[in-house]
Structure 1
Amino acid sequence: MKNLNLKLSGAIIFSLLSISAFSQNWQLGGNNPPALNATNNILGTNSNLPLRIHTNGVERMHSISTFYC
Structure 2
Amino acid sequence: MDIQINQKPLTLPEGATVADALTAFGARPPFAVAVNGDFVTRTQHGARMLSAGDRLDVVSPVAGG
Q: TM-score, normalised by structure 1?
A: 0.22
Higher helix share: 1
Higher relative contact order (CA 8 A, sep 6+): 2
Higher strand share: 2
Larger Cα Rg: Structure 1 or Structure 2?
A: 1
